[in-house]
Chain A
Amino acid sequence: MILRFEEVSYSYPGAAARALDGLDLSVDPGESVLVAGTSGSGKSTFCRASIGLVPHFHHGKFTGRVLVAGRDTRRYPVHELFRHAGLVFQNPDAQLFNQTVEAELTYGLESLGMPPSEIESRMAWASRLTKLDSLMDRLPYTLSGGEKQRVALASILTLRPRLLLLDEPFTHLDPEGADELRGILRTMKAKGIALVIVEHRLHEIIGDVDRIIVFHRGKAVAEGPPRRVLSGNISSYGLNLPPLLRFFRAFGLNETPFNADEAIETLKTQNLLEPFFSRFSRQMLHPSHAPAETPSTIVEAENIWFNYEGRDVLRGVHLKLRKGECAALLGKNGAGKTTLIKHLNGLLKPQQGLLTVLGMDTRKNPVSKISRHVGLVWQNPNDQLFRPTVREEVLTAPKTFRSYDPSWCNQLFDRFGLLPLLDRSPFSLSEGQKKRVSFAAALAVKPGLIVLDEPTAGQDESFRRELTGFITLLREEGSTIVLATHDLEFAAEHATRWLVLSEGKIIADGSPEDVMTDASVMAKAGLRPTQRFQLIQAIKQHGKETL
């Protein structure tokens, strides 16, 4: 047994609630385990306790016993345990602290006092495995999110730990980066390293793990092989189930297919292929929010170019968004999504071409004028919080723009569940609550265009549900929405139009189904069709073969 928790309870200093509450579990050598649960269920604390950071670094009240490779973490300091168990943290930025990628990989080995020849050989092995060979001289902070994640992983792999823990490793990855990470994890598993992966997006890794452990309020409430656990009664634990499972549950089926082929087999054996297909086809042809057939143009971009540090980030973008549309902006990391959305409220101005937003030429109008009409909800809500109370935070923009409408703002407080939080400091809120505050703050000026930057990144199922409700409501009110996201399942659920960016150009513009049907576009943009789309395609294919 490589990891053993025996009746472990833990509270952070000053916290009333227990982060871990009588946790009892074990992980065997070479096993791969997925840890699932809502935000605040104790997953990250479990990771920290697995390498001794809890209690040595965080202190607090700790009872029970954690054994890592047979060593009691209470008796061994973190710097004794790190050679046996390595943790890749959630935020890659905050774990890269050296000047080059190469120095990052060698740091742990130097800590262990290894001879230079051993350092060279381990570094070469880890860099090859994580495909970092061409990045070794780069400064870590200049890398993309996916590259940073690989560096963080490699810096732990060089230590060749027997247990590798990863805290939400897929959060910042585009679909291509996620594929690469899955490949690396399979290799690790083949080499006999035990893997513990904490993740909200179950579908990213569920097919590759031996066991799933569900956390709820600091306890392991369900445990076992993925199919057994997911077919059990777990609805109250707020898990973000894989899309195929959600479709099956919505259809009243309790089976647990992890891919389209398995789903087809299940449907075939139960003679449900046809009814399933007709129901899904109806949904796809008549999405719950059909695009508005109105001629009013909200955004019009004509051949816009933008160069940053000598690189063309946008290269001749043409785009027209109409009132009431919900469009998803998709593409790899670095494709130009963030640059394009920063153009939509004038934070960046096109260096060539023309961009008009609600009739305003963004080059001729200041940000302060354009942003009155464009609500931008950023990926990290912490970038904007600075007021002493939630109420003041939400009312900042309306008061700045002198557009305060008390009745609208009260509606927002109610709609976003902020009424009990109004007098609290925004800094004291959970990340999900902060995100709700940033949503309400962006909508408080009644913007004509709403831009959401990676709205689901790192969020659990309950927030996704809330978000679904907000978007539905906004669309019913006729708002125009732009979603910049890697989460294609979410984009397919909400956006009626997909705009695919690759190397600064829009290479596809159409309905989700049309875009996913174009294999060359999907490959170029590093995208993978959604599970729902794969299932429909598989059913169609099956129909043709049967005929």
Chain B
Amino acid sequence: MKSSAFDPRSKLIGAFVGTLFLVMFTHWVPLAASLGALAVMVLLLHLGRSWIHFLTNLGFAVLTFFVIVSLAFDLLTGVVAGLRLLAIGTVFFLFFQTTSPERLSNALLKTGLPYPFTFVLSASMQFVPVLIRRARNIRDAQRARGIPIEGGPRTLFHLPALVGPLLVQAFKFADELAEAMEARGFGISGRRFRFEPRFRWVDWMVVGISLAVLTAGLAMKFFLP
């Protein structure tokens, strides 16, 4: 996780504006250029290796999207759709690589969102890897007694062997977690954070630039021939 000088709220506004902008492009050239610019940012932040890992995970979705759109419309529309998905994915990759879930939830709390909501947002990021590890343990335990859940279409027939224990464990885990949280003051009023998010001039600059770019984009889209 890279630390960042910006408040998560300004980055979030920037990421949403970037996404809107990418949705507006209907030609492959500006999309490819945007992706190139994003790639430069990735490299400048020394996130190249994580990005490649992210792209390998996103690759299947991009390919599927490209194939479906190409078949439904034409090849060029498929390329635009694929590039757009890659670029939007990279925008949010950059956002989450430079924003810790805790800072994000603290910042959202400042915007007036209720604490339980912002906590669930950060906790869900924490527990996805925990549940993935549990799912792996369950898969190993079932494979060790001959149930073929190694992937592939046959796994579908044996899904209860994976999903059953996982659900039971997830419910039990949620119960234990709720107890532990209660025992450390979850939901108590007067909570105060060690790092209080502050919106500084650089954040106002990010918001200003984002809005200016969005306005320019909308003007070009709707008022220029």
Interfacial residues, chain A to chain B (CB-CB below 8 A): 48, 51, 53, 56-57, 78-79, 82, 86-87, 89, 91, 93-95, 97-100, 103, 106-116, 119-120, 139-141, 155-156, 159, 342, 345, 347, 367-368, 371-372, 374, 376, 378, 380, 382-386, 396-397, 400-401, 427, 441-442, 445
B residues 135-172 near A (Cβ < 8 Å) are: 137-138, 140-148, 150, 160-161, 164-165, 168-169, 172
Beta-carbon contact of B183 and A78 below 8 Å: yes
Can you offer 12 A-B residue contacts whose CB atoms are under 8 A?
A: A97-B177, A100-B100, A109-B194, A110-B191, A120-B194, A367-B143, A367-B144, A376-B145, A378-B141, A382-B165, A386-B165, A397-B145
Q: List residues of chain B with CB within 8 A of the CB of A99.
A: 100-102, 122, 125-126
Contacting pair A383 B138 (CB below 8 A)? yes
In-complex Cβ contact of A384 among B142, B150, B176, B177 (8 A): B142
Question: B176–A79 contact, CB under 8 A?
Answer: no
A81–B193 alpha-carbon span in the complex (Å): 21
Q: From B147, which residue of chain A is reached at the shortest CB distance?
A: A400
Answer whether A111 and B126 are a contact pair too, CB < 8 Å, given A103-B102, A371-B144, A442-B145: no
Contact partners of A48 in chain B: CB under 8 A: 179
Residues of chain A within 8 A of B191, CB atoms compared: 110-111, 113
Chain B residue nearest to A140 (CB atoms) is B126
Tell me whether A427 and B180 are in contact in the complex, defined as CB-CB below 8 angstroms, given that A99-B100, A99-B125, A383-B141 are known contacts.
Answer: no
Which chain A residues border B187 with CB–CB below 8 Å? 79
Q: Select B183's contact among A82, A98, A140, A397, beta carbons within 8 Å.
A: A82
Interchain CB contact under 8 A, B182 and A79: yes
A401/B146 contact (C-beta < 8 A), A114-B192, A384-B165 known? yes
**Interface of chain B, main secondary structure:** helix
Cβ of B151 to closest chain A Cβ, rounded Å: 12
Question: Whose C-beta in chain B lies nearest to the C-beta of A438?
Answer: B141
Contact B192 A110 (CB under 8 A): yes
At the interface, yes or no: B184 with Cβ under 8 Å from chain A?
A: yes
Q: Assign chain B's interface to a size class.
A: 35 or more
Cβ-closest chain B residue relative to A378: B141
Query: Taking CB as reference atom, which chain B residue is nearest A400?
Result: B146
Least CB separation from B143: chain A residue:
A367
Contact string against A for B residues 40-67, beta-carbon threshold 8 Å, 1 for contact and 0 otherwise: 0000000000000000000000000000
Query: Which residue of chain B has its CB nearest to the CB of A123?
Result: B194
> Which of A87, A97, A347 meets B123, CB within 8 Å?
A97
Inter-chain CA distance A279–B170, complex, in Å, is 51
Which A residues are CB-close (under 8 A) to B137? 378, 380, 383
**CB pair A372 B146 closer than 8 Å:** yes
B183-A87 in contact (CB<8A): yes
Partner of A94, one of B133, B148, B164, B176: B176
- A155 near B140 with CB under 8 A, answer no
Query: Whole-angstrom distance between the alpha carbons of A91 and B188 in the complex?
Result: 24
Given contacts A95-B180, A384-B141, contact A113 B122 (CB under 8 A): no
Residues of B within 8 A of A141 (CB): 126, 129-130, 133
Given contacts A112-B185, A400-B147, A442-B145, contact A57 B102 (CB under 8 A): no
Distance between Cα atoms of A13 and B144 in the complex (Å):
37
CA distance A156 to B193 in the complex (A): 17
Q: Report the minimal beta-carbon distance from B29 to chain A, rounded to whole angstroms.
A: 39
Given A95-B177, A108-B185, A386-B160, are A347 and B168 also a contact pair (CB < 8 Å)? no
B16 within 8 A of A: no
Cβ of A116 and Cβ of B165 under 8 Å apart? no
Known: A110-B194, A114-B192, A386-B164. A93 touches B173 (CB 8 A): yes
Judge whether A396 and B183 touch: CB under 8 Å: no
Given A99-B126, A367-B150, 6 more pairs with CB closer than 8 A: A94-B177, A99-B101, A140-B126, A367-B144, A368-B146, A380-B137
Q: Are B192 and A115 in contact (CB under 8 A)?
A: yes
Chain B 7-28 per-residue mask, 1 if CB under 8 angstroms from chain A, else 0: 0000000000000000000000
**Chain B, Cβ-Cβ closest to A427:** B168
Q: Which of B122, B160, B176, B185 contacts A91 (CB 8 A)?
A: B176
A441 to B147, CA, bound (A): 13
Q: Is B219's beta carbon under 8 Å from chain A?
A: no
Query: A476: shortest Cβ distance to chain B, in Å?
Result: 24
Chain B residues, Cβ within 8 Å of A95: 176-177, 180
A363 to chain B, nearest CB (A): 15
**Docked CA distance A48–B175 (Å):** 13
**Which B residues are CB-close (under 8 A) to A367?**
143-144, 150
